[in-house]
Amino acid sequence: MRTIKIFDTTLRDGEQSPGASMNVDEKVLLAKQLARLGVDIIEAGFAISSKGDFEAIRRIGAEIEGPIVCSLARAREADIKTAYEALKDAPKRRIHTFHSTSDIHLEHQYRISRDEAFRRSVEMVKLARSLVEDVEFSPMDATRTDLGYLCEVLEAVIDAGATTVNIPDTVGYAIPQEFGAMIREIRSRVKNIDKAVISLHCHNDLGLAVANALSAIIEGAGQVECTINGIGERAGNCSMEEVVMALRTRRDYFNADTNINTTEFVKSSRLVTKITGMAVQPNKAIVGANAFAHEAGIHTDGLLKERTTYEIIRPESVGFTKANLVLGKHSGRHAFKARLAELGYQLSDAELEQAFTRFKELADRKKDIFDEDLEALVSEGVSGGDDAFRLEGMEVSGGIGVRPTAVVRLATATGVIERSETGDGPVDAVYRAIAALTETGSSLLKFEVKSITGGTDALGEVTVALEQDGDKVRGHGADTDIIVAAARAYLSAINRLAMRKKTGNPESGV
């Protein structure tokens, strides 16, 4: 039984999803959950891209135990040296450098020859290896690269010190049989391939990322680069939960497994959703709300008699549990903190105090409090203390035949500001007031509302998408008052736009 390494790139490629940017505290929080999940490598960011990414890599390297911490770096001296500076205090560290190898990229993007791309790749792998022992190299757009040239590059970078060679399907172009055959050819034609782990990084443009990854594993690949919920550039990346559960469920076929603690998948998925504001579709495999739902009479009849008739995976094995009442209005801080820890949240004293205050407020309004409520509650404070605007207070009036009016108060670094506005509805009035107070130039692209749990006292969850100057972000908010939830979501997105203005990430590819 082979053990396949899981290289998580949620914090790097996943963050490149439009609107999914994370601040340093959010990245550290998610990295801690990835460590509990048991991933082998965390690609914590792209060190040279911004001060925020550099600091996130540095902190994750210092605070996270278990996984190797990795930084992406283009095949440039400055990138590689900056990656090393961010990683130098990490006990286990990796530099992941890349350069395009396809003729379409070299001709139209880089405007250099194959020989020049070959030289840069080898030289930068040598530089990276002089700084760290663990070096990964990716020939970007590998699946559209001439196979003979690709094999020459791989052999040369392994000789130069690469310990992992990653084969990226950068634009999601490959077909599973084709991708598997490519890995087979690489193993056959690259003379020193036994000195490196073959990795793969599959994008999902044709919906084939997981299938391509599994085909590569069959042909001898030893590492999968993937993300929680499959988030990432364009249509996303290989979904970690899907590829891991395929291997776990069909060990008889693949003769391979991973070190992942699969019971942490649902927690990880929910945390990524809370941080990024990117909801998981109900029919998403493994972690979707309907992944283990059965409605057809013949299915439910079989399940009642024997679960294996229609379930190939136990819901408990990926972290689904019944929504039992866990806490009430008389629960103390210790019980609250302990339950949050079980859900994967480790809060600072200040964050815990803020979350506990909100919990008590919620318990006064809501009779039954479930895990989903706690996760939504904590997510309100997940963005850290560097938000430009915070909701301080709000009054809204409206009704049939009455012009909706909202008075909104926001806390800023210089004090509290207030504005009154009218609108077509209460949410519109609130958003007009917030827009005026924050002086945002953004446009509202998307507004979604859903109930987190059942009942008339359920928390309402709002997700919005904003765009400003071509930059798209998402925001998330939750409250028993849907108007308050809407305000929190809008402010969350506006604060993300403010953060993005400070840290613009160059495109990394791969």
**φ, ψ for residue 467 (rounded to 5)?**
-135, 135
For 166-170, 318-322, 391-395, 397-401, which range has the lowest pLDDT when averaged over its residues?
A: 318-322
Residue with structure tokens 């399907």?
Answer: 169
Torsion over CA of 431, 437, 442 and 444, rounded to 10 degrees?
Answer: -10
**What's the pLDDT at 355?**
85
Write out the two tokens for 81.
């040296």
When pLDDT is cut at 50, 70 and 90, the band that residue 48 belongs to is very high
pLDDT at 154 over 60: yes
* Residue of higher predicted confidence among 456 and 414: 414
For 121-135, 402-416, 458-472, which range has the lowest pLDDT when averaged over its residues?
A: 458-472
pTM attached to this predicted model: 0.83
If one counts every other C-beta atom within 10 angstroms of the C-beta of residue 184, the result is 15
When pLDDT is cut at 50, 70 and 90, the band that residue 296 belongs to is low
pLDDT at 103 over 80: yes
- pLDDT per residue as tens digits for the range 18-41: 778 788 988 999 999 999 999 999
When pLDDT is cut at 50, 70 and 90, the band that residue 102 belongs to is very high
**What's the pLDDT at 478?**
86
- pLDDT per residue as tens digits for the range 243-272: 999 999 999 999 999 999 999 999 999 889
User: Mutual orientation of helices 24-37 and 265-276 as an angle, nearest 10°?
Assistant: 170
Cα angle: 309, vertex 312, 315; to 5 degrees? 110
Whole-number average pLDDT of the chain: 90
Whether the CB-CB separation of 140 and 99 falls below 8 Å is answered with yes
42, β-bridge pairs? 8, 69
- Run of H or E including 201: strand 197-202
pLDDT at 325 over 70: no
pLDDT at 385 over 70: no
Write out the two tokens for 106.
């070299």
For 53-57, 218-222, 445-449, which range has the lowest pLDDT when averaged over its residues?
A: 445-449
If one counts every other C-beta atom within 10 angstroms of the C-beta of residue 389, the result is 20
Write out the two tokens for 470.
């071509």
Whether the CB-CB separation of 268 and 238 falls below 8 Å is answered with no
- Run of H or E including 417: strand 415-422
pLDDT at 322 over 70: no
239, β-bridge pairs? 227
**What's the pLDDT at 386?**
67
Concatenated DSSP letters for 425-484? Answer: SHHHHHHHHHHHHHT---EEEEEEEEESSSSTTPPEEEEEEEEETTEEEEEEEEESSHHH
- pLDDT per residue as tens digits for the range 470-504: 888 888 888 889 999 999 999 989 998 887 776 55
**φ, ψ for residue 450 (rounded to 5)?**
-150, 160
390-399: strand order across its sheet = 390-399, 402-412, 415-422
227, β-bridge pairs? 239
Residue with structure tokens 């911004």?
Answer: 50
d(CA 36, CA 14): 19
Name the percent of the chain lying above pLDDT 90.
67
Which residue intervals of 96-143 are DSSP H helices?
Answer: 103-105, 114-131
Whether the CB-CB separation of 305 and 294 falls below 8 Å is answered with no
pLDDT at 7 over 70: yes
pLDDT at 384 over 70: no
d(CA 197, CA 200): 10
**What's the pLDDT at 182?**
98
**What's the pLDDT at 333?**
83
